[in-house]
Chains A and B, each alone.
Chain A
């Protein structure tokens, strides 16, 4: 049985990212995901400094995303020590970026981040889930399932699937969406958005077939510790790594 990963998501702007990274590494996170939510050019060097500092101190994989638009952006982040880069809006606007990134660095380095909203029945969105960009503000008219499959074809190594509807609710992941994408692509799917308690992770692994689950506020505000989440999952028969 493959092991389910728990990735902790942190925004680079909140607190000291290196301190947070070390804390979650020591507590048993399997992978870390960093998003630079500002993504402005002034902050570019700061991001690279942070990546270098994180890579000096933690020895688990981590990915970096937010405003990466070119191969040069990706290369700088990977050279600094991140395992993977994540692209979202830039990939929607220029899908070739996925292919180029995969070609240059390997598919395992390319994570496609997707923000998705459920939409009422529309003939052009067969799956009823639409891709949104610009932090959830712009509807693209693109079917989420079609986009996921296309990204896989172009060389995305993983999909980080974020439900805009569930995000921040702490009421659980969007299981139907996660299940739909997991079943139809053959690359790992990381569920994102909505986790509020350990049962939600159990559900997204068992019922939706996610390969990994991304958590943020659940641990960030100290409500749950990684060790207890993993202990709960192990007791539910889910293969997790215990540190």
Chain B
């Protein structure tokens, strides 16, 4: 059973629909017991870091998420979920985040390119990963974000994307993987990743 963490914001239903379409069982929940007893955990974040972290901490979900990660449950962060797993975000004048992966979410500071980065873009995979099985160089994903993950440890960067700069579009370590794009709105390629995640045991073979 996959638990999609309900922290009261945004598009949880979209991710649930995508799993449903794939015939994969999931539930939307904020209950610690349900989250910690599920096989896999998904955090689909939408919105701003500060209000997300505030809701997460007030509901005690910060310790639940960290516990789920500690228990080696495959964990998928989506969009804001690829930022709040870091130590902090620059958003809202600085927000402490979950600190699961070292690094910070930074704002696109750009010359000529529009912010937020909104639209389809491709990824360059830096290291093989079970969740990325079957992904083609031609595949594109749908992004909407003004902040991006800057990992402190380079081996935590799984894929990068070009938007003025080269930023980390997929990050992760061990049983944690987080994607900056809307995996549930990226057509068949996104669905493929979700399916791979649903079959992943949380282990990444060293290469």
Minimum Cβ distance to chain A for residue B189 (Å)? 8
Contact B118 A59 (CB under 8 A): no
**Tally of chain B residues near chain A (CB < 8 A):** 30
Q: Which residue of A lies closest to B163 (CB)?
A: A2
* Interface class of chain A by DSSP: loop
Q: Which of B117-160 contact A (CB under 8 A)?
A: 118-122, 138, 140, 142, 144
Tell me if A61 counts as interface (CB < 8 A to partner B): yes
Tell me if A25 counts as interface (CB < 8 A to partner B): yes
Contact among B21, B116, B140, B185 with A241 in the assembled complex (CB-CB below 8 Å): B140
Given contacts A2-B119, A241-B120, contact A56 B17 (CB under 8 A): yes
Tell me if A155 counts as interface (CB < 8 A to partner B): no
Minimum Cβ distance to chain A for residue B119 (Å)? 6
Given contacts A3-B140, A106-B47, A242-B138, contact A59 B119 (CB under 8 A): no
Contact B118 A158 (CB under 8 A): yes
A57 to B113 Cα, complex, angstroms: 32
Contact A25 B119 (CB under 8 A): no
A214 to B13 Cα, complex, angstroms: 27
Minimum Cβ distance to chain B for residue A60 (Å)? 5
Tell me if B184 counts as interface (CB < 8 A to partner A): yes
A186 to B115 Cα, complex, angstroms: 8
Residues of A within 8 A of B21 (CB): 56-57, 59
Q: Which residue of A lies closest to B22 (CB)?
A: A59
Tell me if A115 counts as interface (CB < 8 A to partner B): no
Tell me if A30 counts as interface (CB < 8 A to partner B): yes
Minimum Cβ distance to chain A for residue B163 (Å)? 7
Of the listed residues B114, B120, B121, the one surrounded by the most CB atoms of chain A closer than 10 A to its CB is B120
Given contacts A2-B163, A81-B17, contact A211 B187 (CB under 8 A): no
Interface string of A114-145 (1 = CB under 8 A from B): 00000000000000000000000000000000
Given contacts A2-B163, A3-B121, A25-B187, contact A61 B17 (CB under 8 A): no
Residues of B within 8 A of A60 (CB): 142, 185-187
Tell me if A74 counts as interface (CB < 8 A to partner B): no
Residues of B within 8 A of A243 (CB): 187-188
Tell me if A196 counts as interface (CB < 8 A to partner B): no
Tell me how many residue pairs across A and B have CB atoms closer than 8 Å: 66
Minimum Cβ distance to chain B for residue A22 (Å)? 11
Contact B114 A5 (CB under 8 A): no
Minimum Cβ distance to chain A for residue B190 (Å)? 6
Tell me if B18 counts as interface (CB < 8 A to partner A): yes
A240 to B184 Cα, complex, angstroms: 19
A164 to B144 Cα, complex, angstroms: 29
Contact among B114, B119, B120 with A186 in the assembled complex (CB-CB below 8 Å): B114
Residues of A within 8 A of B14 (CB): 55, 81
Contact A108 B116 (CB under 8 A): yes
Residues of B within 8 A of A2 (CB): 113, 119, 121, 163
Residues of B within 8 A of A188 (CB): 114, 118-119
Contact A3 B120 (CB under 8 A): yes
A196 to B76 Cα, complex, angstroms: 43
A21 to B113 Cα, complex, angstroms: 31
Residues of B within 8 A of A158 (CB): 118
Tell me if A187 counts as interface (CB < 8 A to partner B): yes
Q: List 9 A-B contacts (CB under 8 A).
A: A2-B121, A56-B20, A59-B18, A59-B21, A59-B188, A60-B185, A187-B114, A241-B120, A241-B140
A-B CB proximity, top 8 nearest: A241-B140, A3-B120, A241-B120, A108-B144, A61-B185, A60-B187, A186-B114, A56-B17
Chain B residues with a Cβ under 8 A of chain A? 13-14, 17-18, 20-21, 46-47, 113-116, 118-122, 138, 140, 142, 144, 163, 182, 184-188, 190-191
Chain A residues with a Cβ under 8 A of chain B? 2-3, 5, 25, 30, 55-57, 59-61, 79, 81, 83, 106-108, 157-158, 186-188, 211-212, 241-243
